[in-house]
Amino acid sequence: MHKAFVNINRIPTPIITWGKWIEESLTDVKELVICITGNPGLPGFYTEFGAALEQELPNLPVWVIGHAGHEDPPEASIREVPQLSGNEELFNLNGQLAHKLDFIKNYVPSHVKIHLIGHSIGAWMILQLLEDEEIRSRVKKCYMLFPTVERMIESPNGWTFTKIAMPLYSVFGYVSFRFFNMLPVWVRIFLIQTYFFIRSIPNSFVDTALQYFKSSVAEKIIFMADDEMARVRFLQHKNIEEHLPLLKFYYGKTDGWVPVSYYDKLKLEFPQVDAQLDDKGIAHAFVLRHSKPMASIVGNMIKENLD
């Protein structure tokens, strides 16, 4: 595994890879895997998934890219993420799309075919990326995992976010995050580990969670989520129909962001769609507890589409 910060669309961005690093020669590579994260978009949450996927696909490089502004470089770094205020266009959905376009066009040679994994809002981004002819010509297949591609605000979690979480954040959020980060590191780690213990989340994600709770990061994560509620409303019929052969959807049975009714609607409106309903009890936030079984499922999907 290799992790480093790279400037993408003017934003220092953490990239994690297995196999070839993004700046290595890819002359001998015919296909690779790129995973676009959900929100929060910290690649550190995807380390177990990426490692397990590499085991499934030992001959393919696996790259994970998060979202612009969702992780700050180390304090000793000369790179610095711009503040949110005055730079909103870099961190909203349009900015995140420009960020992914810049990454693919600058680091994936034209001869390399891409297997695109989109988790949650990453699936919505894939639908937008396919509108770019240059990107579409490089894509071998898209794997849409727990895809938030419609009616986010109408989902149970969308209702909770807009009616409860956002009002609370607007009053207490910034101060709460500032206070949390004023605590000694050992206290912050203890609180996170306690929460992880209650939720059965591995402690290997503690360092990533510390990044998530930084006020400069949290405000960009919440800003993007708020933009998702406003933008991700209607199913993109024309886009899905045009690119149906490239798309593979995977829905959960107990997903607060993507209810089963959304899966049923997709199947009804697109009878030929390649869509699957989970039968293994995998959660929407699969990277926290179900990385290995999800990597096995996705690995098999990709194997079916290799040359």
**How many residues appear in the chain?**
307
Residue of 70, 72, 99, 120 marked catalytic: 120
Residue of 70, 99, 284, 290 marked catalytic: 284
Known active-site residue 227: no
With beta carbons less than 8 A apart as the criterion, state whether 71 and 80 touch: no
Q: Kindly report the number of other CB atoms within 10 A of residue 199's CB atom.
A: 10
3-class DSSP assignment, residue 92: coil
Residue of 67, 70, 227, 255 marked catalytic: 255
Known active-site residue 67: no
User: What DSSP assignment string belongs to 215-259?
Assistant: HHHHHHHHHHHHHHHHH--S--HHHHHHTGGGEEEEE-SS-SSS-
**CA-CA distances (angstroms) from residue 202 to 45, 120, 184, 285?**
10, 21, 22, 13
Known active-site residue 102: no
Active-site positions read 120, 255, 284
